[in-house]
């Protein structure tokens, strides 16, 4: 596991210097979809994104990310935990599949990659590879 992170103030900064490397390593995810929707900053833990890429390959369907990195201000605005894994670029909230079969297949792929945190709610999922927070499973209300 790596505890280093890739940080760019804007995802455009990354694209100008390392676009080929990004596309080769994480072909199914764009920097834009993983950047903070509030400020545009991108912080990604490569270990976590490597694991999300493995999930996507095993799931064999598009995986749309509703939320990934969050700056502190945005995390507070959306009611995120003060110690959220999103703050360290280690958490991803994929949009939940509509069919039960696809949801089961996505959860099976996630579990095979051994996440540290998994959460499910009526309309969303959360998965993280944040070794500092340990293993945990919880449910969103509603």
Spell 61-94 as b/e; 16+ CB within 10 A means b. Answer: eebebebbbbbeebbeeeebeeebbbbbbbbbbb
Q: In the CATH scheme, what architecture does the domain 6-139 have?
A: 2-Layer Sandwich (3.30)
Burial category of 128 from C-beta neighbours within 10 Å (exposed 0-12, middle 13-18, buried 19 and up): buried
Query: What is the token pair recorded at 115?
Result: 């996440």
What pLDDT is recorded for position 12? Answer: 55
66-106 residue pLDDT tens: 999 999 999 999 999 999 999 999 999 999 999 999 999 99
Q: For residue 96, which of 63, 55, 129 has the smallest C-alpha distance?
A: 63
pTM, 2 dp: 0.87
């Amino acid at each position: 596991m790596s505890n280093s992170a890739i940080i760019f103030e804007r995802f455009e900064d990354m694209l100008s210097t390392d676009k080929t490397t990004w596309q080769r390593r994480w072909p199914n995810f764009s920097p834009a979809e993983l950047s903070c929707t509030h400020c545009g900053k991108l912080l990604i833990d490569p270990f976590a994104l490597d694991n999300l890429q493995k999930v996507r390959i095993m799931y064999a369907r598009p995986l749309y990310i509703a939320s990934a990195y969050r700056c502190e201000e945005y995390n507070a605005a959306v009611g995120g935990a003060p110690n959220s894994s999103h703050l360290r670029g280690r958490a991803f909230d994929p949009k939940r599949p509509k069919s039960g079969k696809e949801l089961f297949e996505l959860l099976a792929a996630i579990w095979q990659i051994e996440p540290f945190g998994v959460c499910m709610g009526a309309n969303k999922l959360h998965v993280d590879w944040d070794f500092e927070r340990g293993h945990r499973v919880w449910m969103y209300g509603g």
